[in-house]
Amino acid sequence: MPDIHPKTTPIYQTSVFAFDDLDALELYFEQPGQNYMYTRYGNPNTDELAREVNKLEGGAGGVVTSSGMSAILAAVLAVCKAGDHVLCAEEIYGGSAALLSQELTRIGMEVTYVPTADTYNLQQYTRPNTRLMLAETMSNPLLQVLDIAKLAKETRKQSIKLVIDNTFATPILTKPLALGADIVIHSVTKYLSGHSDVTAGVVVCREQEDLQRVQTVMKVYGLNLSPFEGWLAARGLKTLRLRMKQHSSNGLQLAQYLQQHPKVEKVWYPGLAEHPQHELAKEQGQGLFGGMLSFRVKDDTAAVNRFMRALPSIPFAPSLAGVNTSISHPLGTSHRSLSAEQQQKLGITVGVIRFSVGIEEPEELIAELETALAAV
């Protein structure tokens, strides 16, 4: 057979790898990472994805998982056990809140949500059994920007780990580990893969000890990603830098357009000078602000429905960060599991629409919005 050197990593669509003999098997255990045995433990496609994301984030290594939710689960279980206490930013993705409050409490963990005003002063919330703080670089859906370096200083002071969900920003904008975070997670489903055809997650650790624990959790709990999805995500990752520049450029133009529209009551986008963390976002995001924004039309279900139906081609889809623009409704999807009191406190009302700005021509997107807003 000729010596083959493919430019792109082939798809290793196999559940198991063969050994020549017992000596080869022993070598697998003696020199971890030098060979493969079982795809739940590792596969060239998922390893390539983990390696490339780790390069971008600047960590000790990465572990790929089956979804963004399983990445959060792996990160928490790597650090915490039954009886431990977890802190979580009040403004967090609804799925993360559901995992912590509804599931991890069932296996003996305790969870406290830290109000936004107290984010950088954790002393009153930290207990002897507190192990970590979970927060997002940019909150979902109202785009509050976290001062990661400031929070990292506080978590070190309290002797707890800082876990940052960097999905909205990506390492093209912000590298949380360089700012002091201990663990970074992504829903690879979103910007990293970028084409709305993959469900995956990744955990990147600053320290080798945390990395080994995450690897163990992934293997033992069976949180692994399939080879094909690993290959698709690694392919998508190759255009991440280009895509994020276009997402950010479009995001700013769309936010400015929406801000001046009479039917729009409020716009949340870190690139707007009026945003409370605009200067922080500018510095922490290398002058880019990402492609996610939210805006509010009047709090009337019928008006929101008219807006959605009047969009010529932008879909109403409960996800984000694809190359194609989409809208979502946080109250009815991502934050549905929160109580009405929590939703109201966070300002997530029926008129709030989350807008995932794609990489199309901005003039096309503005024309679509003009048509839809006329129907509100």
By annotation, the residues acting in catalysis are 40, 93, 165, 190
Q: Which two tokens stand for residue 68?
A: 């963004």
- Using CB atoms within 10 A of its CB, is residue 72 exposed (0-12), middle (13-18) or buried (19+)? buried
Nearest to residue 296, comparing CAs of 336, 367, 348?
348
Amino acid identity of 340? A
Amino acid at 27: L
C-alpha–C-alpha distance, residues 85 and 75, integer Å: 14
Contact 335, 141 (CB under 8 A): yes
Encoded amino acid at 129, one letter: N
What separation, in Å, do the N-terminal and C-terminal C-alpha atoms of the chain show? Answer: 65
d(CA 335, CA 342): 9
Round to whole Å and give the CA distance between 366 and 258.
Answer: 9
Task: Please tell me the distance from the alpha carbon of residue 85 to that of residue 140, in angstroms, as a whole number.
Answer: 23
Specify the 3-state DSSP secondary structure of 118: helix
